[in-house]
Structure 1
Amino acid sequence: MELSPEQCRAARGLLDWTQERLAVRAGVSRSTVRDFERHRHVLHRGTETLLVRTLQDAGVMLLPPDDHGPGVRIR
């Protein structure tokens, strides 16, 4: 699953998480989350996996792109 910056922001919104909270739970730096969400850099595959797993474990479903783009849903 390729995580988009928009999905990351939306998932945090559904969970009511700050960038800091996601970063701590995923074991990455806050600047990594911030810069990714601002389209400043692409995530390394391992970092992306950590973020996706953390969001999914918290109850977020990341939906693949369709005609309307990628999405998120809370379980």
Structure 2
Amino acid sequence: MISGSQCRAAPALVEVTRAKLSLRSGVFEDAIRDFERKVDNPNDRGIEALQAALEELGAVFIPENGGGIGVRLKFTAAEARQIERLEGEGGIVANDRVP
């Protein structure tokens, strides 16, 4: 399940207002606001509805993976093709770190 912080960040990424998110998810705007501000949590069903609505709009939620939770946008089809093309180019395998 997503956190309040993820719920606050995702609408900005997918460019949706709290009012529109409320309509799409069926969760009251006040409940979304309180969840984003960590004042109160909706019930599990409400959080799942928020997550589903945001995922439909293009958000991808990143679970705790040792580096913290997060949210990002889905790749577009063009971006996915570009990544696939670049991954198939070959070349020298090296450390990705920039000194």
The two structures share one fold, judged by TM-score above 0.5 = yes
More strand by share: 1
The answer (yes or no) to whether the contact 2:31–2:41 under 8 Å persists in 1 is no
In the TM superposition, what is the alpha-carbon distance from 1:13 to its structure 2 partner? 0.7
- Percent identical among aligned pairs is 34
Q: Which gives a bigger RCO, structure 1 or 2 (Cα 8 Å, sep 6+)?
A: 1
Q: What is the TM-score of this pair, normalised by structure 1?
A: 0.90
Q: Distance in 1 between matches of 2:65 and 2:51?
A: 19
Is the partner of 2:41 in helix, strand or coil? coil
Q: Give aligned pairs, total.
A: 74
- Unaligned regions of 5+ residues in structure 2, if any? 75-99
Which of these two proteins has the greater Rg computed from alpha carbons? 2
In the TM superposition, what is the alpha-carbon distance from 1:26 to its structure 2 partner? 0.6
In the TM superposition, what is the alpha-carbon distance from 1:43 to its structure 2 partner? 2.2
The equivalent of 2:34 in structure 1 is 35
Is the partner of 1:48 in helix, strand or coil? helix
The one-letter amino acid paired with 1:6 is S
| Residues 9-39 of structure 1: per-residue CA shift (max 9 Å, x gap) | 1110101112111111111110010011111
The one-letter amino acid paired with 1:52 is Q
Note the aligned Cα RMSD (angstroms). 1.0
Is the partner of 1:9 in helix, strand or coil? helix
